Amino acid sequence: MALERLSRRTILTLLVVAGLSLALDLVFGAFRFVRTDDGDEWSVEGSVTLPRPRDQSDVSVEEAIADRRSRRAYSDRALERSELGQLLWATQGVTDRDRGFRTAPSAGALYPLEVYVVVGSPGVEGLESGVYRYRPGRHELDRGRTGNLQSELQAAAVDQEFVEEAAVDIVVCAVDERTTRKYGERGRQRYVPMEAGHAGENLSLQAEALGLATVSVGAFRDDRVRDIVGAPADQRPLYVFPVGGRA
């Protein structure tokens, strides 16, 4: 057998390596990295399954459009996990699994957007405060940094108080290279911001249909927001959406 042909020294070396690997797993067992399809890594401490999104509502598209407003006042109730899942699905959820198409149109179906959630207080029922990254294909959240980081996000958003007062803040970032590798600089200047606008309007209309309050925020320090959500250096923050129950 192959094992019998190994020298005692080789076997000892393999055992030492295996022991070191096990020790590292014990020390860092709760801390791992997820590599996306485009190769970037994001440290996670577990995944959270979201309820299946619904595709029907008592509110028509026309009603949601007519009633949509920028709302900066929030109640002190926590969001339901189904409400957060519905918002994220409307923003970047998958609607055609065979072809990978999503809720918002994308130039060349390249999908450069990445969506993060900063859960604070009152937060979301059943979720710890911290930062989560939405995984559209699985309709799940990967958990990153823990703790309430909304005050830091408020400071990064030129101290707009409603950023901290909302139940959660949904942060939309973009990996420009996914689009520019096909469309060049026009992709960064036009197609990616257009796509963020599509996704943002979807989020706003879904919040309206759910009876929630939200507002789109573009005034913030990009590098600081990127650091707070733990996004890789190649991701450009484009939007912050505070979301909560209506006051």
Q: What is the pLDDT of residue 94?
A: 98
Answer yes or no: do 142 and 63 share one domain: yes
Span of 1-10, 13-22, 54-63, 89-98 with lowest mean pLDDT = 13-22
Answer yes or no: do 113 and 234 share one domain: yes
* Cα–Cα distance list, 126 to 43, 89, 166, 178 (Å): 21, 19, 17, 34
Encode pLDDT of 36-64 as tens digits: 444 455 566 789 999 999 999 999 999 99
* Total structural domains within the chain: 2
Helix (H, G, I), strand (E, B) or coil at 110: coil
Q: What is the pLDDT of residue 240?
A: 98
163 burial type by CB count under 10 A (0-12 exposed, 13-18 middle, 19+ buried): buried
Answer yes or no: do 22 and 37 share one domain: no
Q: Any idea what the CATH number is for the domain that residue 167 is in?
A: 3.40.109.10
Q: Domain range holding 8?
A: 1-30
State yes or no: pLDDT of 11 exceeds 50.
Answer: no
Q: What is the pLDDT of residue 41?
A: 59
State yes or no: pLDDT of 24 exceeds 60.
Answer: no
Name beta bridge partners: 118. 131, 169
Answer yes or no: do 80 and 141 share one domain: yes
% residues pLDDT > 70 (the chain):
82
pTM listed for this prediction? 0.84
Average pLDDT, the chain: 88
Answer yes or no: do 43 and 22 share one domain: no
Answer yes or no: do 60 and 22 share one domain: no
Sequence-distant (≥ 6) Cβ neighbours of residue 181 within 8 angstroms: none
Encode pLDDT of 197-206 as tens digits: 999 999 999 9
Sequence-distant (≥ 6) Cβ neighbours of residue 232 within 8 angstroms: 40, 41, 42
State yes or no: pLDDT of 5 exceeds 60.
Answer: no
State yes or no: pLDDT of 116 exceeds 90.
Answer: yes
Beta strands 41-44 and 47-49 are: unpaired
Which long-range contacts does 127-132 make (Cβ < 8 Å, 24+ apart)? 127/48, 127/81, 127/84, 131/228, 131/229, 131/230, 132/48
Contact 157, 240 (CB under 8 A): yes
Q: Which amino acid is at 23?
A: A
79: which DSSP letter?
B
